[in-house]
């Protein structure tokens, strides 16, 4: 069975993370994604190392960072300042279903490659513009970076210990979630196009995404009028839902209801704690967070992690270890689900490039493109000759110059 986006052509004019993350997900779903990078420069993240992917010739294939968000794509390079480079992008856009771009607001207009111009020559085109702050508003012209957005969008104000400094997430959550929102929007636009024949212009902003991700914390503020404090690893609305000390480290215990809490106390050897009137219901446990947490710490710190986790699992009390990244990829569930990829790549030392698959499984098929991240301009000849992208087919000149139509 063909993947769900088989036959969809995506032109990616994006770099760093949010735009490429969107493009990678679309590639995993079966789209033919052609990434256009600036000639001689390429995506900034090609240099964001170490570590770098070793090449068979003793050089490298770029930073692991680049490979983390550009798997599944073909690549061609273009000089946007040269007429032939702009003409190439126009030609590819005329044959594309989707363009994903993350230039600064107005940045593509100076090259005549803005959404309005591209859609004028291809009305079925879906153009997804990803920016820091959106296409309008007082901050529209600003450059947006994940770290700044986590701060401006409220995420850092609710992350960290109560008496410590605000902390950003260890992952680039604003970039990653914006890429996911963008991919979702692109697919919705394609569904609408199937019914109407018309493309769409999509405006996805990192700040909008970060504000949307505040979810319950944001709505708590809108309902109460109060700013959410930092709770460290604890949950603002559920207790106990935190990191707990054990004799050999720390574990996570995440009770979600009163029954789970009572079973937790029984396993910890203090069933009376589970029936104490102050702690019977979650509302009381939240109101009495400090004394209850201190009592639970005293109990959990006497137990070994493996022994306690086994008993909690048997009693259906949600709990788990705090794994390092190395332990994650050795975890039997992660191994069973095939999250780590080894992609055939004759350019790489050892003949393969590692990857992490998309988490989507459809009809039992784990959706992940088998194509490794490309070298800069690696697929120029085949893209220029590809009839699906306006090429003349096999045997077209390698330069492709005669296939370029300079008319926007």
Among the three residues 273, 296, 325, which one is the final residue of a domain in this structure?
Answer: 325
What pTM value is reported for the model? 0.93
Residues 66, 190 share a domain: yes
State the CATH number of the domain containing residue 260. 3.30.1540.10
Taking 90 as the threshold, does the pLDDT of residue 65 lie above it?
Answer: yes
Dump strand ranges (E) for 135-248.
Answer: 200-205, 241-246
pLDDT of residue 406: 28
Is 175 in the active site? yes
pLDDT of residue 130: 98
Catalytic pick among 32, 43, 146, 175: 175
Residues 341, 297 share a domain: no
Residue 283's domain comprises 241-325
Kind of pairing, strands 319-321 and 340-344? unpaired
Tens of pLDDT, residue by residue over 84-104, are 999 999 999 999 999 999 999
- CB-count exposure of residue 370 (10 Å: 0-12, 13-18, 19+): exposed
Per-residue pLDDT averaged across 296-305, rounded? 98
Reply yes or no: is the peptide bond before residue 361 cis, omega within 30 of 0: no
Tens of pLDDT, residue by residue over 114-138, are 999 999 999 999 999 999 999 999 9
Contacts of residue 35, defined as CB under 8 A and 6 or more positions apart, other chains included, come to: 12, 14, 20, 23, 43, 70, 73, 74, 75, 76, 374
Residues 255, 177 share a domain: no
3-state secondary structure of 361: strand
Would 401 be classed as within a structural domain?
Answer: no
Taking 50 as the threshold, does the pLDDT of residue 63 lie above it?
Answer: yes
Per-residue pLDDT averaged across 65-71, rounded? 98
Residues 150, 125 share a domain: yes
pLDDT of residue 403: 34
Q: How many domains does the chain have?
A: 2
Confidence category of residue 407, pLDDT binned at 50, 70, 90: very low
Computed over every residue of the chain, the mean pLDDT equals 95
Residues 176, 124 share a domain: yes
Tens of pLDDT, residue by residue over 205-225, are 999 999 999 999 999 999 999
Alpha carbon distance 123, 76 (integer Å): 24
């Amino acid at each position: 069975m063909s993947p769900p986006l088989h036959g969809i052509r995506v032109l990616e004019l994006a770099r760093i993370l949010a735009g490429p993350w969107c493009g990678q997900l679309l590639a995993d779903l079966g789209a033919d994604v052609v990434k256009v990078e600036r000639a001689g420069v390429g995506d900034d993240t090609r240099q964001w190392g170490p570590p770098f992917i070793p090449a068979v010739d003793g050089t490298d294939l770029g930073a692991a960072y680049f490979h983390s968000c550009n798997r599944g794509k073909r690549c061609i390079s273009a000089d946007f300042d040269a007429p032939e480079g702009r003409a190439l992008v126009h030609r590819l856009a005329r044959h594309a279903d989707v363009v994903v771009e993350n230039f600064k607001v107005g940045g593509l207009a100076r090259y005549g490659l803005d959404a309005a111009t591209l859609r004028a020559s291809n009305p079925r085109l879906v153009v997804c513009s990803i920016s820091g702050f959106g296409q309008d508003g007082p901050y529209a012209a600003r450059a947006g970076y994940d770290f700044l957005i986590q701060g401006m969008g409220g995420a850092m104000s609710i992350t960290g210990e109560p008496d410590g400094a605000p902390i950003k997430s260890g992952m680039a959550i604003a970039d990653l979630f914006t890429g996911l929102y963008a991919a979702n929007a692109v697919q919705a636009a394609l569904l609408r196009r199937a019914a109407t024949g018309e493309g769409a212009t999509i405006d996805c902003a990192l700040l909008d995404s970060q504000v949307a991700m505040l979810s319950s914390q944001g709505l708590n503020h809108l309902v109460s009028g109060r700013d959410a404090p930092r709770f460290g690893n604890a949950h603002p609305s559920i207790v106990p839902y935190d990191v707990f000390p054990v004799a050999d480290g720390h574990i996570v215990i995440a009770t979600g209801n009163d029954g789970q809490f009572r079973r937790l106390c029984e396993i910890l050897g203090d069933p009376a704690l589970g029936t104490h009137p102050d702690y019977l219901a979650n509302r009381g446990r939240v109101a009495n967070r400090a004394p209850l947490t201190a009592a639970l710490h005293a109990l959990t710190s006497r137990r070994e992690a493996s022994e306690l986790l086994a008993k909690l699992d048997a009693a259906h009390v949600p709990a788990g270890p705090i794994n390092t990244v190395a332990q994650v990829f050795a975890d039997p569930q992660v191994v069973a689900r095939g999250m780590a990829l080894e992609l055939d790549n004759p350019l790489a030392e050892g003949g393969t490039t590692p990857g992490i698959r998309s988490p989507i499984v459809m009809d039992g098929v784990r959706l992940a493109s088998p194509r490794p991240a490309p070298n800069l301009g690696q697929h120029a000849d085949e893209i220029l000759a590809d009839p699906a992208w306006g090429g003349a087919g096999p045997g077209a000149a390698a330069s492709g110059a005669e296939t370029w139509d300079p008319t926007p």
